[in-house]
Chains A and B, each alone.
Chain A
Amino acid sequence: MSDYLQMWKDLGMDVETHDALCQVLPTAFGDTFLSMENRPEGMGFYDFVVSEIHGIRPSEMIAAQKEGKKVVGTFCVYVPDEVINAAGALFSGLCGGSQFWVPGGEKYLPKNTCPLVKASIGARFDRTCPFFRIVDMIVGETTCDAKKKAYEILGEDVPMYIMDMPQMKRDIDIQKWADEIKMFAAKMEELTGNTITLEGLNDAIHVINEKRKALARLFDARKNADNIPISGLDALLVMQIAFFDDPVRCAEMANKLADELEQRNKDGVSVFPAGTKRILLTGTPLAIPNWKLHHIIETSGAAVVCEEMCTGTRYFENLVDEDNASLEDAYMALSKRYMKNNCACFTPNGGRIDDILRMAKEYNVDGVIDTNLKFCCLYDTERRSVEQAMNEAGIPFLGIETDYTDSDAEQLRTRIEAFVEMLG
């Protein structure tokens, strides 16, 4: 990584501890990614972003702050980036994906809390992640219990704004989410001192829609039944970086990569040998740098061709109606799109089962692996209905619960290899 030491010091970071992270990350990335063969050229940009992960984008955000802009941190794909963008602020996903931050989080949270939440708290309080230091405000949401209570703790150290997420999907819930988005817009106006205009919000909707379309194109290229133009690991990396990159650049880079993947499909250029088993991975998000499961699957004779996850289809599927006639209409249009997302925090959540069945078909998969982070009781419990639906549809299914440590890697490998053997 280039020299960002002064920037990290100015952010009040614990640079000594942070150094330990900076030392292990390049090795982890090299072992996992750079060992893969025939990667698309378009991945060069993403490799570069990872190599400068705690420097390049943070320095852009700090430069924006110097111009008077605000940076807002988020933890969930239900928080509308459009509103943040329309208020002239930058957004950054904050979910922690490394075991490095977990012990720090355990100082504040019960041990049996999901590693994503523990890592996020640890990253802020241990002062070892620049993104967590840069943000002027963090937007939380009432999705899972672990996050709800963790936000109270986070609030001791950083300004928080909480959006009250409905837990059902009736009309009144969609109206309620539109109201929440409107209140959030008022909060963003207060934070930035800018007024959110109809034109500004319509523009922001367009920008984020273009980003969604680009990511969707990339995923469309993964649907090809005869060719795997990109590894699941690389596709996951694109998604992980999309959470904190500038949305316009994100769309541009994803489109460029999608061009290359479409050409690869035409030319029959695959990153896996013919006959490699195609896996749909479903479940809880894989925040950067959580590459564990993809790496095990893709070194066990299979390829991940789709992620039904927040760091996957939930991030880009469905567009928001553009050209709204009023702000009220725009808030409702946003609510309608976001409420189409199917997260296990909703009840009932049959839409997620439908999504998985549809994706299994669209992406021509041989099997479904459903994974949840340890102590995520929502996804863990929902596994039963996912498994039942897969059994009924005759789609081979494997359930996996894991965390950020490597202690279960070999056990997981045995189960995943056995699953791949079972696929024939």
Chain B
Amino acid sequence: MNYIGIDIGSTCAKTTVLDEHEQVLFQDVCPTGWSSVDTAENIRKQLVQAGFDPQENVVVATGYGRVAIPYSDKTVTEITCHCAGAVYLFGHQTMGVIDIGGQDTKIIEVAGGMVKNFMMNDKCSAGTGRFLEVMANTLSVSPDQLTVLAAGGSDTSISSLCTVFAESEVISLIGRGEKKENIAFAVVDSIVRKVASQASRMDLAGKPVCLTGGLCDSEYIRKALSKELKTDIETSEQARYAGSIGAALFAKKKGKKS
């Protein structure tokens, strides 16, 4: 028996399969697209092909599309899963976890390996991956390219937190002939400041802070966020899978099909 965790986020769907020893056997990320139901079916086919038929293995679903997976044995929220995934990846029992997702950002306080407190942005997409995506689109670059560009920029800022208004600000910066690097810098700076202000409301002092979610690949974001939070933020190549790893761990805890 193997354990499957599926994290259907607003932008990407992540899958992780763990064995009895919690070793990763399979991992995949694909765009969620417009239909969580179709995505769930595609993931199922992929799993069958890889030899991990959901019918024969325990499946836990998480993420905002968690209810759209008809073959899951259980659903667990992404907050609890990211906590479990971060404990698995980083090995800290006490820490802060920052997950910058597609449409929301979560700050989780972990104590004794469990969620002690958490906070989610609830007002809008400011400080999320979606914000980065929209701005990258306006600049005709990919989100990854945007963060690379940002490293070479400086001294520009965007004041609007609303994605729509911020986009018009970016457009006027473009109109003014501002360097692309500087605009990219302003975009990342806006996200980092927003996430840091959220994190400042949680009790993270003196604890290790780990970054999970889709933006963990960007070294520039990790550095910028570390500077703003005055701590060296940890991340890992697998951090974008944290939610699905956590879900797979809950599948193992569950132990059998329902």
Interface, chain A (partner B; CB < 8 A): 397, 401, 408, 410-411, 414-415, 417-418, 421-422
Contacts and interface: CB of A to CB of B under 8 A. Distances in A.
Nearest to A384: B201
Contacts of A408: 122
Given A401-B122, A418-B115, A421-B115, A411 B104 contact: yes
Interface in B4-38: none
Nearest to A374: B123
Given A418-B118, A421-B115, 8 more contacts: A397-B117, A410-B64, A415-B79, A415-B118, A418-B80, A418-B115, A422-B79, A422-B80
23 contacts: A410-B64, A411-B120, A414-B64, A414-B77, A414-B78, A414-B79, A414-B120, A415-B79, A415-B118, A415-B120, A415-B122, A417-B77, A418-B77, A418-B78, A418-B118, A421-B77, A421-B79, A421-B115, A422-B79, A422-B80, A422-B114, A422-B116, A422-B118
B122 A411 contact: yes
B141 interface: no
A414 B64 CA distance: 8
Interface string B57-82: 00000001000000000001111100
Contacts of A415: 79, 118, 120, 122
Contacts of A410: 64
Contacts of A422: 79-80, 114-116, 118
Interface of B: 64, 76-80, 104, 114-118, 120, 122
A292 to B, nearest CB: 14
A172 B78 CA distance: 53
A410 B120 CA distance: 13
Nearest to A421: B80
Nearest to B121: A411
Nearest to B114: A422
A422 B77 CA distance: 10
A367 to B, nearest CB: 11
A397 B117 CA distance: 8
Contacts of A411: 104, 120, 122
Contacts of B116: 422
Contacts of B76: 421
B66 to A, nearest CB: 9
Contacts of A401: 122
Contacts of B117: 397
A417 B78 CA distance: 10
A418 B79 contact: yes
Contacts of A417: 77
A421 B78 CA distance: 11
Nearest to B108: A418
A418 B79 CA distance: 6
A79 B64 CA distance: 44
A417 B120 CA distance: 13
Contacts of B122: 401, 408, 411, 415
